[in-house]
Amino acid sequence: MSGVPLLPERRRWLQAAGAAGLLGLAGCASTPNTAMPALRRAQVLVVGGGWGGATAARHLKLLSDGQAQVTLVEPDAALVSCPQSNLVLAGHRTLADLTLGYEGLERLGVRRVRDRVAALDLARREAVLASGGRLRWDRLILSPGVELMRERVDGLSAAHAAGRVLQAWKAGPETLALRAQLEALPDGGVFVLTIPLAPFRCPPGPYERACLVADYFKRVKPRSKVLVFDANPEPVSKAALFKRVWATQYAGIVEYRPSFNAVAVSADGREVEFELGERERGDVLNVLPDMRAGDIAARSGLARANGRWCEVDFLDFSAEDAPGAGVHVLGDAVLAAPLMPKSAHMANAHAKVAAAAVVASLSGWEPNPAPVLTNTCYSWVDGAHAIHVASVHGYSAAQRTYLVLPGASGVSTGVSEREASYAMGWLKGMRQDAGEG
């Protein structure tokens, strides 16, 4: 596709460089690159230290052989993985198991600024920090994640603020708070999970959560129930696999009801109301509202697609709503291409294509005309078994988007322990690839 053959001299050079443990553009003495000083001078600012931002920072360093000056702005002290955080709800993992620091990135020379970006001055190419400082960029990689639109469900903001109805859709303290609610739930109690219309962060996540809460109930509170109300007509990911698991492993525990869109929660946080007026009571409600791109994207005028998502040029992830400002947006905040999930792995893939495009641009080169994105999402159905969905997305120049390549997608044939071991390997790889070490 990209059709770049390895020339014999580079093959030799690669071997030599590989043997020396020093594979680098700078070592490529046969092709002096006059654009390199621009790459060394440029300030590359990464805003948001989730999977997308951390992976971008790591690969800006890797793909520039350490030459790019990279600053990462993130208010949190560490990255807490959303993937596998449903295992915390079931008691199979702690948050500490899923937490990675930014020290690895700092060792690679990434400057870390622990602050929040309050505004983006697109004209001056400056990020205004909550603390008042400003950071200039030549290239900005914005990985803002998602915001939960609690305002779209009547009473949800108040119920959330009071700690009664949680989402726990960003791993962290709220994950532990929801775990505590499940622990306090009596045997025979009801857990009600509502799912918004797609697209939302982590398409299989709610269905995995239904499985893992059921796994906890089955072991500890066998008379309890998991009621799933889905605004979609069918699970939006791995539908057949999840339905089979609910019908077999969790028969009598999980009830799945499609096409129920939650519109309100009661003041006591015990009752949810749906679009057509039906009501359901539960001991613990977990109401997931619609989602949109993170606030900083919206406030900067970058999230104009349906008023929710950031439109990008998929060749280099440059923001369509900030032409000429050197802004790239990636991760869940992006208006997705067909069948492109809002997943950690996809954010990792975006990050590497964007990082390569930034390094190319600062080197005076064109972006790769044929970038490739891969995705594998593992879902756990209990503490020891997992399933997956995988896909490879190739850039279509004709349609200016990514399309799933023919034959290059699929799901598990069934639930397996083997896939659980791969899911653990995947998280290790993701952590390393985000610069942990």
Q: Which of 172, 392, 396, 401 binds another protein (CB under 8 A)?
A: 392
CB of 160 to another protein, least distance (A): 32
Residue 119 CB, nearest distance to another protein (Å)?
32
Among 153, 201, 412, 415, binds another protein (CB under 8 A): 412
Phi, psi torsion values for 15, nearest 5 degrees: -65, -45
Question: 279-281 and 284-287: which strand pairing?
Answer: unpaired
Which residue, 230 or 382, is less far from another protein as judged by CB?
Answer: 382
In whole angstroms, how close is the CB of 110 to another protein at the nearest point?
Answer: 14
Which residue's CB is nearer to another protein, number 146 or number 420? 420
Considering beta carbons, is residue 3 or 277 the nearer one to another protein? 3
Q: Does 23 bind another protein (CB under 8 A)?
A: yes
In a 10 Å sphere around its CB, with 0-12 CB exposed, 13-18 middle and 19+ buried, how is residue 418 labelled? exposed
Binding to another protein (CB under 8 A): which residues in 114-143? none
SS3 of 107, please? Answer: helix
> Does 3 contact another protein by CB under 8 A?
yes
**Tokens read off for 223:** 């008379």
| 390 touches another protein (CB under 8 A) | yes
Region near another protein per CB under 8 A, out of 40-48, 178-186, 199-207, 429-437: 429-437
401 binds another protein (CB under 8 A): no
Nearer Cβ to another protein (77/408): 408
Copy the structure tokens of residue 382.
Answer: 């209990």
Interacting residue with another protein among 45, 56, 57, 62 (CB under 8 A): 62
The residues with which 401 forms a beta bridge, in sequence order, are 396
Which residue from 429, 427, 340, 335 is spatially nearest to 391, judged by alpha carbons?
340
Can you tell me the distance from the alpha carbon of 185 to that of 24, in angstroms, rounded to the nearest whole number?
A: 56
353 is a contact residue toward another protein (CB under 8 A): yes
Q: Which stretch binds another protein (CB under 8 A): 72-80, 220-228, 301-309, 372-380?
A: 372-380
Nearer to another protein, 181 or 348 (CB): 348
Indicate whether 384 belongs to the interface with another protein (CB under 8 A).
no
113/430 with CB nearer another protein: 430
* Residue 8 in the binding site for another protein (CB under 8 A): no
CB of 426 to another protein, least distance (A): 5
Nearer to another protein by Cβ, of 221 and 385: the residue is 385
Q: Which long-range contacts (CB under 8 A, 24 or more apart) does 420-425 make?
A: 420/378, 420/380, 420/384, 420/385, 420/386, 422/378, 422/386, 422/388, 423/84, 423/378, 423/380, 423/386, 423/388
403 within 8 A of 396, measured Cβ to Cβ: yes
